[in-house]
Structure 1
Amino acid sequence: MNTATKLSGFVLGLAAVFGAAYGVGQLTGPVTVVAAGHDSEGAGHGEGDAGHEEAAGHEEGAAGHLPGGLLVADRGYTLVPVDAPPGEFAFRITGPDGRPVTGYDVTHDERMHLIVARRDLSGFRHVHPELAGDGTWRIVSPMDSPGVWRAFADFTPTGGDPLTLGVDVTVPGALAERPLPAPASSATVDGYTVALTGAPQPGRTTTLTLTVSRDGAPVTDLEPYLGAYGHLVALRRGDLAYLHVHPEGSPGDGRTAPGPQVSFATEFPSAGAYRLYLDFRHRGVVRTAEFTVHVGDPGGTTGPADGHPTTAPEDGHGTPGHGHD
């Protein structure tokens, strides 16, 4: 992954959701996996619930590339959920030869980054499953509440290019849809305040800076997490187009301070609402600060003039201080 990971500009909208029925065990009951997106080979096409994604079918700039996470299959690689015991999530990546991939490059200290979020952009988790000898990745399911979740597999197959594949997973139960929180210039989590500055415009490279403080004092001893002082994921409301970026500089390079500021070079593909998730580690605990950003809004992206902070909810959806596996 490059320091400044970019999603090239494209026309908004989504092609229909293409349902594929995979049995993947149970969490709180049977779990349904829906393969959303399309690929050049027609993988994942079928009858699905189009209500969870907007219509799409677009061309991504001159290169014709889609953003990460919109496809279940790309460049011959396919994300395939497999049967798992209750409370577990398991999947394989199959390669161009149709066989499970077993060779992966280590990227930011891990061979696989699994990111999940509900389609209402609550419940974000970034975890790291374990690879079995048969090419199956397994982990205690991070999808811990009813709803339709998007699961992103972020990886680099040995000898290949970095890829992000995505699949929808339905966890049954009584669904309480959560409205998108209002934009704000700061967020609080576990007693930490994280301030966001920067005014991104669609299709332009912009620096976002997040400043971490605690009890009014700047945090100047952030700890490396996955080889960096912070990790930022952005998901676009609607299709959940995926942008995963890493900060400018790295620990031990002789020029990057361990806080309080962590800066990211980003490019948002279009105007609209995005949810940002910043992972940072301090005193041995990884925490996630969450923001809503309206890209392309006049006067900036970090919310109302009063700058009231948002507080991460306490019920497991964006839980303050959650651990990362």
Structure 2
Amino acid sequence: MNTALKITAFTAGLATVFGASYGIGHATGDTTPKPSDAAHAGHASAAAPSDPAPPGGGGASGDPGHVPGGLQISERGYTLSLGDPYVTAGAPIDLRFRILGRDGKPVTAYRPAHGKELHLIVAPRDLSTFQHLHPTRAADGTWRTAAALPAAGEYRVFADFTPAGASQGLTLGADLHAAGDLRPVPAAVTGRTVSVDGYRVTLTGDLTPGRSTRLGLSVAKDGRPVTDLQPYLGAYGHLVALRAGDLAYLHVHPDGEPGDAGTAPGPDITFTTTAPSRGSYRLFLDFRHGGVVRTAAFTVTATDRPAGTPAPAAPSASASASSSASVEHGGDHQH
């Protein structure tokens, strides 16, 4: 299918709309993030003197002038350039892209974060699937990875990286259009516990707009807590949050790390994060056990409800058990 026909197919079919926000229970108290929690692309951290100031002069993600990650294709002089943003759904694709620097040339030097120079997230606008990929970079700065787009629709590609010499990472986002028979679905509703591949993951804590809060996730299998989680990219868990409606990106990492003499390998993983606004979010937790990386997905609502105020009733456990999103990872992730 040529580009013109692909564009026509999308114009006729794309109408994905998110449903109303879904609640989760029990508020949590305000917490203060550790210094080590900052400075990743999805974290709110002040720009270093050598870096151009973020748009609007924003600092913390709760600041009114701050632009959440992933909403911009170009930021601080860097641009995400997709090789071909028009593809066909239902078949594996060869996804290629480049990060262009301030001089318009491809960036070829990066500062690794969690064992990788760049983390790539691919998700559709309805947030029904999720892929965390690790592409390879050629000497000319072109990144390449295989990706699977199971259904037609509008997808968002997020590149999470830190250029060499920069003290602050960033996340750029670009649209990827997959032609085919579009069948939009509403965002999945979940409770506080979801099931994936025989594991049950339970969420505690709430997202609170503009305020640093703590989220806890506990992993169990066959009714027993998992106490031997394996490190994945230098941590016992990774959490990505995407805001329904515009897919604002929030990439956070757990408190502590393997080998720090204070962080246990499960069953609990805690994260400190700040929601940029009220609204519905999808949370994707990556964890590794038995040599396989799995992902548990939750739908949560960020509200201004005061701590201690009862939350709306969560769906039944039977509904939660079937609500995890389809997820894929590069490397050792399997489903």
| CA deviation after TM superposition for structure 1 residue 100, in Å | 0.3
Amino acid of the structure 2 residue aligned with 1:266: T
Match of 2:247 in 1: 240
| CA deviation after TM superposition for structure 1 residue 305, in Å | 6.8
Q: Does 1:311 align with 2:312?
A: no
Looking at structure 2, the residues matched to 292 and 199 of structure 1 have their Cα atoms a distance apart, in angstroms, of 11
Match of 2:276 in 1: 269
Amino acid of the structure 1 residue aligned with 2:72: L
Looking at structure 2, the residues matched to 68 and 175 of structure 1 have their Cα atoms a distance apart, in angstroms, of 27
SS in structure 2 at match of 1:124 = strand
Match of 1:40 in 2: none
Looking at structure 1, the residues matched to 159 and 127 of structure 2 have their Cα atoms a distance apart, in angstroms, of 17
Amino acid of the structure 2 residue aligned with 1:145: A
| CA deviation after TM superposition for structure 1 residue 252, in Å | 0.4
Are the counterparts in 1 of residues 73 and 80 from structure 2 also a CA contact under 8 Å? Answer: yes
Higher relative contact order (CA 8 A, sep 6+): 2
Looking at structure 1, the residues matched to 65 and 250 of structure 2 have their Cα atoms a distance apart, in angstroms, of 17
| Structure 2, gaps ≥5 residues long | 19-54
SS in structure 2 at match of 1:194 = strand
Are the counterparts in 2 of residues 249 and 255 from structure 1 also a CA contact under 8 Å? Answer: yes
How do 1:1-325 and structure 2 match up within 5 A?
64-83=65-84, 87-160=93-166, 161-296=168-303, 298=305, 299=309, 304=314, 306=316, 310-311=320-321, 318-319=326-327, 322-325=328-331
Query: Could you tell which deviates more after superposition, 76-85 or 104-113?
Result: 76-85
Match of 2:52 in 1: none
* Corresponding pairs, count: 280
TM-score (norm. length: structure 1): 0.78
Are the counterparts in 2 of residues 234 and 274 from structure 1 also a CA contact under 8 Å? Answer: yes
Amino acid of the structure 1 residue aligned with 2:208: Q
TM-score (norm. length: structure 2): 0.75
Match of 1:37 in 2: none
Q: Identity of counterpart residues, as a percentage? A: 50
Are the counterparts in 2 of residues 293 and 303 from structure 1 also a CA contact under 8 Å? Answer: no
| CA deviation after TM superposition for structure 1 residue 143, in Å | 2.9
Query: Could you tell which deviates more after superposition, 85-94 or 115-124?
Result: 85-94
Write out per-residue CA displacement over residues 4-59 of structure 1, whole angstroms, 9 at most, x where no aligned residue.
Answer: xxxxxxxxxxxxxxxxxxx9x99xx9589x9xxxxxxxxxxxxxx996799xx999
**Structure 1 residues 233 and 175 mapped into 2: Cα distance closer, same or farther (>3 Å)?**
same
More helix by share: 2
Write out per-residue CA displacement over residues 72-125 of structure 1, whole angstroms, 9 at most, x where no aligned residue.
Answer: 000100000115997210000000011000001110110010001100011111
SS in structure 1 at match of 2:326 = coil
Looking at structure 1, the residues matched to 151 and 111 of structure 2 have their Cα atoms a distance apart, in angstroms, of 32
Looking at structure 2, the residues matched to 261 and 303 of structure 1 have their Cα atoms a distance apart, in angstroms, of 24
Looking at structure 1, the residues matched to 82 and 17 of structure 2 have their Cα atoms a distance apart, in angstroms, of 20
**Pairwise CA RMSD of aligned residues?**
3.2
Amino acid of the structure 1 residue aligned with 2:80: L
**Structure 1 residues 78 and 305 mapped into 2: Cα distance closer, same or farther (>3 Å)?**
closer
| Structure 1, gaps ≥5 residues long | 1-22, 35-48
Looking at structure 1, the residues matched to 310 and 170 of structure 2 have their Cα atoms a distance apart, in angstroms, of 31
**Structure 1 residues 252 and 208 mapped into 2: Cα distance closer, same or farther (>3 Å)?**
same
| CA deviation after TM superposition for structure 1 residue 201, in Å | 1.8
Amino acid of the structure 1 residue aligned with 2:182: L
| CA deviation after TM superposition for structure 1 residue 179, in Å | 1.0
